[in-house]
Amino acid sequence: MEVGQEVKGVTAVDRVRKGAERGNILSSFIFPTLPTSISICGIQHLERAGNNLTLFDSLYFCVVTFSTVGFGDVTPQIWPSQLLVVIMIFVALIVLPIQFEQLAFLWMERQKSGGNYSRYRAQTEKHVVLCVSCLKIDLLMDFLNEFFAHPRLQDYYVVILCPAEMDVQVRRVLHVPLWAQRVIYLQGSALKDQDLMRAK
């Protein structure tokens, strides 16, 4: 296999992985809004027989209810819409915290592996960029142990630039207290100029 074919394969895998990440982020936004939209439309539809709430009043009621403020100025008057509100509250208490936690986790993981080594740090602190195509745990442990054992290198940061997504084993190694604050993992390739600029 030639280098050009290997690079094309890596970029295709990158595109698929980034598409999956976008899908996860999009579903994390859509899934919490779906119960809210159903509740707004359901309350507005069910209240046509009684209080005749407008769509804005239904939106206002759902936002006030989901945020647990509950002013009480707009309330459902007939039993089907009251039942819908009870179901809506149970769904909101179960679904929304899970979705917001997943969204926060996705954002933090993206920041960890797709962020930049800050320019301020690059100007004020010394660092070494370790470019690898495949990260082996035993080699990484050996490198970090030997690197940080040297007295002159203990003030340095190690920026790991790797095209693979950080897996559980790498995450465990990077959380070892000896170097947890001194090692930064960036997902990217040494063959791409923009990734090298992120790590410089």
Greatest alpha-carbon pair distance for the chain in Å reads: 78
Taking the C-alpha atoms of residue 153 and residue 132, their distance in angstroms, rounded to an integer, is 20
Give residue-wise pLDDT tens across range 176-187.
888 878 888 888
Tokens of 21: 């990440």
Could you tell me how many helices (H) and strands (E) the chain has, helices first? 7, 3
**Percent above pLDDT 70 for the chain:** 74
Could you tell me where the DSSP H helices lie in 67-136?
79-114, 119-124
Strands 157-162 and 183-187: parallel
Q: Is the pTM of this model over 0.85?
A: no
The CA–CA distances, whole Å, from 44 to 70, 81, 135 equal 18, 9, 55
pLDDT tens digits along 40-90:
777 777 777 666 777 788 888 888 887 778 888 888 888 888 888 888 888
Catalogue all structural domains in the chain, each as residue range(s) with its CATH number: 3-114 (1.10.287.70), 119-199 (no CATH)
| CB-based contacts of 147-155 (< 8 A; 24+ apart in sequence) | 148/178, 148/179, 148/182, 155/125, 155/126
